[in-house]
Amino acid sequence: MSVLAIIGGTGLTQLPGLEIRQAVSVETPYGAPSADILRGEYAGRDVLFLARHGQPHRIAPHQINYRANLWALKQVGASAIVAVNAVGGIHAAMGAGHFCVPHQIIDYTAGRAHTFFEGELEHVTHVDFSHPYDEALRERLIAALRSEGAACSSQGVYGCTQGPRLETAAEIVRMERDGCDLVGMTGMPEAALARELALPYACLALVVNPAAGKAPGLITMAEIERVLEQGMGAVKGVLARVLSA
């Protein structure tokens, strides 16, 4: 049976009908993952959860051990991954509270450990990353969003920045010229590492704020947290539908 892994916030484990059975501590060749992996069951299906930023939420985007996270999930049996990401909206359609299942990504990060293929290698390995997200998994998320009646876009380009600071208005203008619809800080190298491990991977992105310069005034954490709280019900509903499919 396939085992879906969900990477996101700790609140995602509060699905009605979800039974968490075990917290698994994993050591990897790349160090420890962000948190213990939670193993549970939903609708008769095994599911794994990993808190990307740790438990409690304490690890900044540029300090996440992405390699350990992905390696640990593969090690405990994950066969596919849904990543839940809070993002900023660049495209006019991507207002606060809007969902997007991106189809492409542009990496603006620097200095992150981003590959398993380095060091003392027997041969150089290149993985095809033309289409970074698994299409079948994307379609399942899109169908679940539509069934939930959530405002959503079935495609978009995710621009991943280094963080932890938010972007300048000029940086967002540049990203918009590049074709980005969304901006976030955790999409890479997570997606690429999943591809290196041959794990189907897709992103469920919730827009929590307009990107810099896209709305009057400053971006506040209070507003971001308010939208996150409001959107969590729909996120849980989508995940429940995907797990039940």
104 in a structural domain: yes
The CB-side HSE value for 139 (13 A sphere, CA atoms) comes to 2
SS3 for 48-68, per residue?
Answer: EEEECCCCCCCCCHHHCCHHH
Q: Name the domain count of the chain.
A: 1
Question: Between these two residues, 217 and 155, which has the higher pLDDT value?
Answer: 155
Q: Is the per-residue pLDDT at 9 higher than 80?
A: no
CA gap 95, 98 in Å, rounded = 6
Q: Is the per-residue pLDDT at 1 higher than 70?
A: no
Residues 6+ apart with CB under 8 A from 223: 96, 209
123 in a structural domain: no
Question: Between these two residues, 146 and 225, which has the higher pLDDT value?
Answer: 146
34 in a structural domain: yes
196 in a structural domain: yes
pLDDT in the model for residue 216? 84
For residue range 97-113, list pLDDT tens digits in order.
999 999 999 999 999 99
For residue range 22-64, list pLDDT tens digits in order.
999 999 999 999 999 999 988 888 999 999 999 888 999 999 9
238 in a structural domain: yes
234 in a structural domain: yes
Q: Check whether 210 is labelled as a binding-site residue.
A: yes
What CATH number is given to the structural domain containing 16?
3.40.50.1580
205 in a structural domain: yes
User: Do the Cβ atoms of 114 and 215 come closer than 8 Å?
Assistant: no
120 in a structural domain: no
Q: Check whether 200 is labelled as a binding-site residue.
A: no
CA gap 161, 166 in Å, rounded = 9
User: Do the Cβ atoms of 114 and 160 come closer than 8 Å?
Assistant: no
Q: Check whether 241 is labelled as a binding-site residue.
A: no
Q: Check whether 209 is labelled as a binding-site residue.
A: yes
Q: Check whether 131 is labelled as a binding-site residue.
A: no
CA gap 99, 80 in Å, rounded = 21
Full residue range of the structural domain in which residue 190 is found? 4-115+129-244
Q: Check whether 126 is labelled as a binding-site residue.
A: no
Q: Is 110 helix (H, G, I), strand (E, B) or coil?
A: coil
Q: Check whether 45 is labelled as a binding-site residue.
A: no
**pLDDT-based confidence at 197, cuts 50/70/90?**
very high
Q: Check whether 216 is labelled as a binding-site residue.
A: no
What single letter denotes the amino acid at residue 154?
Answer: S
- The tokens for 171 are 């940086």
